[in-house]
Amino acid sequence: MEYSDLVEVYDALGATSGRLEKETIIAGFLKKLKGNPQWIYLLRGRVLPDYDPREFGISNQLVIKAIAVSFGVKNTDILKKYRKIGDLGEIAEEIAGKKIQGRLFSSKLTVKKVFDNLQKLMNIEGKGTVGKKMGLISELLGQASGKEAKYIVRTLLGQLRVGVADGILRDAIAEAFFAHDKKEMSDKIETAYDMANDFAVVYDAAASGRKDLDKIGITVGRAMNVMLAVKAKDIEDAFRICGKPAAVEHKYDGFRVVINKDGGEVKLFTRRLEEVTKQFPDIVEAVRKNVKGKSFILDSEAVGYDPKTKKYKPFEAISQRIKRKYDIDKLVRDLPVELNIFDVLYIDGKSLMDEGFMARRKILEKIIKSEDYKIKIAKQIVTSSEKEAMDFYKEALKIGEEGIMVKRIDAPYRQGRRVGYMVKLKPSVKDLDLAIVGAEYGSGKRGGMLTSYIVACRDDDKFLEVGKVSSGLKELEQDEGTTYSEMNDLLQPLIISEDGKNVKVKPRIVVSVTYQNVQKSPSYSSGYALRFPRITAYRADRHVRDVATLGDIRKEVGKHTGNSGPGSL
C-alpha cells in the first residue's frame, strides 16, 4: 500500500468532527489492511501496541534539523515559520511541496517503509543515536510529497490531529466486519481490547470472525487495563449500585499495581500500563515468598508507610518511588510499601475474569500468606447492613485509609468503569484527575521553570481546558512529594509550541486537583473553570485516558461548597 493512500485517510478524518463519519472512513481503510494488521497503529500515530510504552523520543529541534537537511533550507528559516504557524507538519508540507517539483525521479513512499523506519527509531541506542535517527527521518522526508511530509512529521511529534480515539477505532472495527450487528460487537471488541491492549490483535481476530474475538484473553506478563470504580454519594447509594449483600473493603491511599508471575519471572505494572518492576524489588520479593502459584495475575494497591512509626503515608509521599530509576536500595529502606491484594484474574493456566468476585476472593485466601508491612489481603466484610458498612467506613478513616470500596459479590472482572461492579466512597473533598496541556514560566525563585499549569478534562479524544493551577507542589526536594523543579523536568520534553512565557505540552502528565467549585467560563475551551484549584498529587501511576470527562465537570457545575455526606464524619 502506498503511504499516499493512508494520507488520504488522514485528510478525510481531519476534515470531519463527526464520530460516525470518522468510523465509516476508518472502516473502509481497515478492509484493505489484511495481512498487515500492525498498520492499524498508524491511525493513532503509533507503531506499537498500547501495552508497549515506548515513544519515538523525537524533539521539535531534531525535526527542524531533519527538515532543514532533507530539503536544503536553513534552520533559522524554519524557526521563523514555526513561531508564526506553530505546526512543523504544515511547514514540512510547504517546503516539501516546493522541493518535490525539482526532483526528476522520485519513488513512491509505501506504508511499509514509513512503518519500518518509525519502528527502527525506537531501537536506536548508544553512540551516534542522533545521527542515526536523523538518517531514518531524512530518508522518509526525502521521498515524501508535501502532504506525506506533513503527516510523517506530525506522527514523529505525537501530534497527528485526526481525532481517532479508542472508542472510534473500536466502533470502526465493528462497522468494518460486523455492520449488521455493530452495537453488540462493539461491546465484544471493547472487551477483547481490554484483554489484549493491542488493536492489531483485535483487528486480526475481528477480520476472522466472532469466534476468534472470543478467544482473546489476558496474557501473563503483559500490561492490561484494570477495573475502575465509580463514585457513590453515600452508603445507601453504594448498596443501591452494588446490591445486597455486598463486599466492603478498605480504600487504600496508594497506587495500583498489577502483579504478573510467569514461571520464575515477576513483573509489576501500573494502571497506566508502565512497568515498574525494577523500582519495587521489595514487592517482587514479597510476591515470590508469600504467593503460591507458578503463574498468576493479581490486582493490588501498594501503600507507603513510615519505617520507624509504621504509620501509613499518603500517595504523594510514595509517588517518587514510581518515578525514580536510581538509588533503589535507599528508597526501599526510606519509603517501604505494603502490598494490599484485592483480586486475582488468572492462576496457573486458568482465566478467572468471568468468575464471581467472592469466588475469586476465596482463591486469594488460599494462595496468599499475609505478612505485616509486606503483603496482605485487603481487609473485607460482607454485609447487607448499612450500619455495619458505616462502622467499617469510620474505622478505615480512623486508621488513615482513604475510605472504602463496595463491590458486587457476583460480578466478573471487567475493565473500565462498569457501573454496578465496584464503587468508591470517601470524604467529600472535591477533587479531579486532570491532564496538564499547557504551562507558564515562573519568575523570582521559580524563574526559568514551568510552574503554572493549564489543566484539562477529556472529551472523547480531545482535551478541554478547565483552568490554571500554580499551587500545591513542593519547593524543595527534601519536602515530601513532587517539586516544581521535578514537574518542570517532566514537562520540558513534552513542549509542543512556545509563545513568550506560555507553552503548550503533549497531554501526558496527570495530576489530582482539588477546587472550591466549578463555574461557567468563556476563558477555557471546556466552557468551565475550576475556582481556587490546587494540585494535591502528581499521579505517575495514571493514564491520561483516566482523567475526568467533560460530563464529570458538568455534574459539578452549580454545586455548593461545604462538607456533607460521608465527609462530615
Whether the per-residue pLDDT at 106 is higher than 70: the answer is no
pLDDT of residue 50: 87
Whether the per-residue pLDDT at 417 is higher than 80: the answer is no
Return the closest-CA partner of residue 70 out of 136, 147, 114, 164.
136
Cell 524543595, residue?
Answer: 476
pLDDT of residue 567: 33
Chosen domain end from 410, 425, 440:
425
pLDDT (tens digit per residue) in 76-105: 999 888 878 878 999 999 998 877 555 545
Whether the per-residue pLDDT at 564 is higher than 50: the answer is no
**442 plus 346 within the same structural domain:** no
- Catalytic residue, chosen from 22, 188, 251, 407, is 251
Residue 163 belongs to some domain of the structure: no
What range does the domain containing 389 cover?
A: 227-425
How many angstroms separate the CA atoms of 476 and 484, rounded? 8
Average pLDDT over every residue of 414-421: 80
CB-CB contact of 260 with 307 (8 Å) = no
**414 plus 443 within the same structural domain:** no
Chosen domain end from 383, 404, 425:
425
Q: What is the pTM of this model?
A: 0.81
Identity of the highest mean pLDDT range in 12-21, 53-62, 120-129: 12-21
Cell 472510534, residue?
Answer: 168
**462 plus 402 within the same structural domain:** no
pLDDT (tens digit per residue) in 220-268: 999 988 999 988 989 999 999 999 999 999 999 899 999 999 998 999 9
Q: The CATH number of the domain where 342 resides is what? A: 3.30.470.30
SS3 (DSSP) at 215: coil
pLDDT of residue 92: 93
**443 plus 375 within the same structural domain:** no
Chosen domain end from 425, 452, 470:
425
**396 plus 254 within the same structural domain:** yes
pLDDT (tens digit per residue) in 159-203: 898 989 889 999 999 999 999 999 899 999 999 998 899 999 999
pLDDT of residue 104: 46
How many angstroms separate the CA atoms of 127 and 260, rounded? 34
Average pLDDT over every residue of 413-426: 86
CB neighbour list of residue 366: distance below 8 Å, 6 or more residues apart: 292
Average pLDDT over every residue of 126-154: 92
pLDDT (tens digit per residue) in 341-394: 999 999 999 999 999 999 999 999 999 999 999 999 999 999 999 999 999 999
Q: The CATH number of the domain where 506 resides is what? A: 2.40.50.140
pLDDT (tens digit per residue) in 2-37: 999 999 999 999 999 899 999 999 999 999 998 899
pLDDT (tens digit per residue) in 448-506: 889 999 999 999 878 999 999 999 888 765 556 788 988 999 999 898 888 888 999 99
Residue 57 belongs to some domain of the structure: no
**368 plus 238 within the same structural domain:** yes
CB-CB contact of 40 with 199 (8 Å) = yes
Domain total in the chain: 2
Output Rg (C-alpha) for the chain, integer angstroms.
Answer: 25
Average pLDDT over every residue of 436-453: 87
Q: Return the amino acid letter for 244.
A: K
> Whole-number mean pLDDT of the chain?
90
How many angstroms separate the CA atoms of 97 and 43, rounded? 23
Percent of the chain with pLDDT over 70: 95
Whether the per-residue pLDDT at 116 is higher than 60: the answer is yes
- DSSP letter, residue 384: S
**403 plus 518 within the same structural domain:** no
Average pLDDT over every residue of 555-563: 58
pLDDT (tens digit per residue) in 68-79: 999 989 989 998
Residue 158 belongs to some domain of the structure: no
**325 plus 233 within the same structural domain:** yes
| Residue 60 burial (10 A CB sphere; 0-12, 13-18, 19+) | middle
**461 plus 379 within the same structural domain:** no
Average pLDDT over every residue of 147-152: 96
Residue 264 belongs to some domain of the structure: yes
SS3 (DSSP) at 171: helix
Whether the per-residue pLDDT at 443 is higher than 90: the answer is no
More confident residue, 64 or 499: 64
Average pLDDT over every residue of 317-333: 84
Query: SS3 helix, strand, coil % of the chain, rounded to 5?
Result: 40, 25, 35
**268 plus 393 within the same structural domain:** yes
**478 plus 418 within the same structural domain:** no
Active site (annotated) includes residue 251: yes
